Each structure stands twice: as C-alpha cells, then as structure tokens.
Structure 1
Amino acid sequence: MKRLFYICVIGIALIGGAAQGQHIITFCGEPVPIDQDFVRDKLINVIKKQVRVVNMPSLRQRANIYLPLVERYLIAYGLPTDLKYLPIVESGFLTKAESGVGAKGIWQIMPATARGYGMQVSAAVDERENFDKATRVACQLIRDNYLNLRKLAGTVNWPLAIAAYNFGIGNILDAVRKQGSNYFTMKLNPETALYVYKIIAVKELFEYPELYNSKFGYNIFSSAEVAGKAPQEEADDSVDPDMINAIEKQIAKNKDKKAPVVKEEQYVLAHIEGKMKNFRDGDMVTIVLDEDLETTNYGLSFKGYSFGVQGWIIDDRVYFKLGYGHDVTLLDLDKQKGVLLTDLLSKKRINVLLKNIVYEK
C-alpha cells in the first residue's frame, strides 16, 4: 500500500494523460521511456532517494559554481549539456573525492584511464584533482565511448555511452552483443543498472523542483523538512529476471508509439502580482497573462487571464508550478527560471516570461 501511495503521489509528475498533458522526461535529448511501467517505477524510486543528495546545502553551493563551468566544456566538446549532472552522481563536485577502487576527482577517473589520456598520476602530482584537466579528459572519454559504441557495436545512444563511463566500454559492448542496445531493459550490475537513472533523477530535481515539491507536499530543498519527511525506501537495483517476459510484451505493445516532437519554444509576457512580505514555501501567488497563451495540450488562455500557483523557495529564487507539466515554465526577463525572492517580497509587479513548448500535431 505504501509503495502504491508514492506512485500515485509522485508518479503523476512522470506520466502524461489527457488531464495532465505531456510531461516528457528526456536524457541528452532522447525521451526516457516512462510509458513502460518498470522504467517509471524505478525512476520514481531513484528520484525519492536522490532527494537527500540534492538537498545538501554544501552540494548545492558547489553545484551553483561548477554546473555552468562544466556546461561550457560539454558544449566545446559537442556533448549534451545534461551530462553536467554526472559529477554530482560521481563525487558531489568534490575535487579530492576518492573511491575505494582508486577513482578520483569530480569525474572519478581511474588511474589507468587517466594515464591513458596523458594525465599525471603519482604520489607527488595527481592531475585528476585539477578541474580543467579532469573535465577535458572526462569529455574526451565520454565522446570516445559514444564513437566506439557506434563503430564496434553498430548502434549507440547516450544512456549506453554513459553506462560505459561507469562500467567500462568493454563490458557494455559485451552486454550490447548479448542483450541489445536498450539500456533500460538490460541486465547489468546493480551500480550500472541505476547509474543513468540517478543522473536523470538529479537533472529532474535540479531543473523541475517545483513539480516534485508540490507532489511531496513540502520543499524538498529544505533540510529541516527532508530530515523528517523524506521517503526512506531504497531503489530497486535491477530488473527482476522473472519480469523479462512481461517487459518484452510491454515494449512490443509500445513499439509504435512516438514521443511528441517539439515544434518551437514561444515566450509569452505575463506578470506576478507581488509584494508578498510574508511569503512562505507553498504559498499561492497570482500570475496574469499580458499576452494570449496557446498551448498544445491545454488550449488557449486569453490576455488578462489570471491564475493562482504555488511558489517554492530554492536558494535565493522562487520557482512556480504552473500546472502545465514541462510544457510551460516561468522565467524572469533574463530567461532564468523563477524570480528572485527579494523581488517577490518587495515589488508590486514582477514582469516575467512564460516559456511555452509547442509540439507538432
């Protein structure tokens, strides 16, 4: 009963429907197959567990510094920017972090791998602790994994390439030859079976916290609240072998379903009626449209339409759950998500943008 409750409460944030519209979770530009029950349930469990990770104030401080920097490297190397969350799973952005098997640095690079890419690794100098050099090598390694999978296996996708970062390219190649190229249905070691899920979970919690705050019923980034209320279940580490037949049937049933294609992103002017001196987590604020908003899944709302939404304080900003899933997001005029808390407390009117994702019909 307890597991079913969490699926009902949190799962609504992961599934689409006529009432909720599209809520598409992606990893490196590829849709995550959450229409498959075993994938959705596993991701829900991992998200619950990762709440305790992303809630750490010291981690969030480091992430605020490192995430924009890592994103620049990824762009320079032609890699998806979603991979900026990988170091959070690996090390929490601790440059001197070291694992029991000898991996070190924010990217947790093994000694032999580091030396193979020209890094110095010795008692006197360990360049894996150097942010610039380690990040360059990590980008090269990820890119090489992707290219080698395409060349040697004849197939590639980003979940596989990132699984190879954790498990080794040789092991993933062997698994692909035996099991095919769908990471989400592969039987891997427990750590690798959860690895990509963890990165997706961290991405969701960093980029869409307002969706999960409202589903938990409290601010998941408030340490006092999480200490008392965060779910404690452990995530299931692998696909149960007894479920393989059911999984294959479900994949066959869904094989012709296609994820919606994004046509464009529109920006609609709106404003918040502010100066809420006593604003607290979960309080309602009023948003007023200054232009018509026409969404793919919810239809047309005219200029002047106002609606109340919940706001959640995260660091120095307030994020809002608008009720459109991922389709519509509130940004400030600099196109940063949410608004400054100080603005909400002090300004009578805060001009904002609503980013509206329009899908092809």
Structure 2
Amino acid sequence: MRFLKKTDWPIIPLALGIMWVGLTVQGSVSGGVRYPPSHVIRMVVAGLACVLCAAWGERRWRKSPWLVYGICLALLVLVLLTGRSTNNARRWIDLFGGFKLQPSETMKFAVILALAKWFGDHPKPRRMADLYRPALLVAVPAILVLLAPDLGTALTFVPMFLGVAWLAGTPWRVLRWVLILPVLLAPIALLFIQDYQQERVMSWWKQSELTLEEKADVGFHLWHSKMAVGSGGMHGFGWARGPENRLDRLPERHNDFVFPVIAEEHGFVGASLFLLLYAALGAAAIALAVKHRDPFTRLYLGGMGLHFLVHLILNVGVTLGVWPTTGLPLPMVSFGGSSMAMAGVMIGVGLALSASRGPVFTSRAWED
C-alpha cells in the first residue's frame, strides 16, 4: 500500500497517545476499570476506519467530496425525521447490534472535505460574493444541527469555515465582515435554543453571582467542573481517586466534561501535558498542510487540524467557564463512538492525501 511507505508518521503516535489518555480516563470514570471493553471496541473501530480510509487512496477521495457531503446531509435530515429522541433532542440513528450513529459528527468531516474541494477549485476569493456558495455548504448543515438541537456542534462549523477560507487565501478585509455575521445572526439562533440551554447560558454569564441554590441547580455542571479542575493541584489525586469523579458529583464526566477528570486526577502538570499533546496533533496537521502545493490536500489537512484545535478550545473552555455549557465532546477522549470513529476517518483521509505529496511548500505555493 502506497500510503504505508509515504505516511507522515508523526500524526499517528500523537493520535494514539490521545486515544490512550481517553482509554485511561474512561476507565477511571467507569469505576477504576483498566480497559473498559466498550471503549476498547470504539478504539478498534476508529483504528480500522483510519486504515481503510487511508488505503482507499488519494484519487478516490479527490473524486468523492460531493457524494460524501450529500450522504451526510441526507443523514442529518433523516435523524430529524426518524432519529431517537433523548432529552428532547434528536441526534442519533439506531443501527444494528445496539450501535448508534450521530450524523452531526459525520457532517463535520463532510464539511471539511467539501470546503477543501470548493476552495481548491476556486482559489483566492477576493469578494464577499465569492464566499456565498461555500458559506451555504456550512450554513445548511449548521441549521439542521441546530434543529436537533445541538448548539455545540453547530458552533464548530463557523471557525472551521473561517480557517479554511483563510488558508485558501481569502484576505482579512473580506473575512472581517464574515466574522460579524455570527453576531448578527445570534438572535435567530436563540429561536432554536431550548429553555435548559438558555438557563446554562445565563448561569455562565452570571457565574460569579450564583447563589448556593443556583450552583446546585442550573450551575451544577460548571460549578463541579471548576471544583474538579481547581482541586487537582499540581500533581492531582491519582488515577480513579479524584473526589468529584469517584463520588459521582461531576455530570457528563465520561463525555463533555472529561477534561476536569484529567485535571483532578493528574493535576496541573498532567492536564498541561495533555493539552500540549492534543494541540500538537492539530499543529502537526496544519504543519503538514503547508508542505503541499496541491490546494485540495493543503486545505483538507488544514481543516482537519483546525477541527481538532477548535474542539479542544471549545470543550476545555466550557469546563473552565470560558464559554457557556453547550455539549461538545472531545474527539478520541470522550465516550462517543461516532466522534471516535469520525476522528479515525478524518486522520485516515489525511494520511491518504498526504501520501501523494507534491513539492515541499515554498512562498510561491500561495501564488500559483
């Protein structure tokens, strides 16, 4: 297989390191199980997805962006019509054997692939009018995701669009107007937000003014998250020994609030090393992107790197009280199988594209 000979290996150990951290954390939140079987299965599925997508080959992936986008968009519509309703949200499609698929996770991959294709075929947009069509590629799935409702996932599309557009050569004088649009559209987004989401936003906004009763109610997630992070000290309590985790006081600690478990049990040192490891994966993908003169490959790899960095910033920011609680997993660390599998798919496609590397990046690469 060609990709085995030309694979950019630094991405692989970084991803494996992150998955290993996820395995240890999931074992901790499962009551001290060293290798929780359900999470091991998810890791195996992600690994197989990565290998299969890498082996599929660069030429096939280059021909398939619109097909992938169309299928994933259809799945988003399908989940709204027939998906399982959990906590007043329709986000999952039941599959065989008890497995579930979250179409919003597949859509993230499809959007990156489609944006790379569009901007690769239409390089260096110079006007706002040049961004209308690629913006629709993001706006349509974002609206469908909001209808689920899934505010956290919908928010990830905006920075990924801006990042890929910038990598494609869009000047800042154009992008600054695009940055204003989310602010102007915020009142419309409020129409899709459920009551419990509005309460979370308000509790975040007034977090320093919350009473003890409010901290035990609408501010419960954020309060205990900050307690876990702050109590970890320099070196933490040790694996599966964190009080917030062990006493079951930290909600969603297996999924959206997985970072506080790391900080509580491994302290500032362990949490910092984890953040550096995760950021290194995103940075490695972006560094790999700038080696390519091929626009499609460069933009996809850049979009993939931004995907991981955006999720890191939003997920960890929520747990620290920087952003409102929106519900966003941390790929390869959180429990979600769809998120784990799609991380494997993204990396596999990135390896397939990078295996057919053209000349190393020079300053002329952006001018051609």
Q: TM-score, normalised by structure 2?
A: 0.25
Higher relative contact order (CA 8 A, sep 6+): 2
Q: TM-score, normalised by structure 1?
A: 0.25
Report the structure, 1 or 2, having the larger strand content: 1
Report the structure, 1 or 2, having the larger helix content: 2
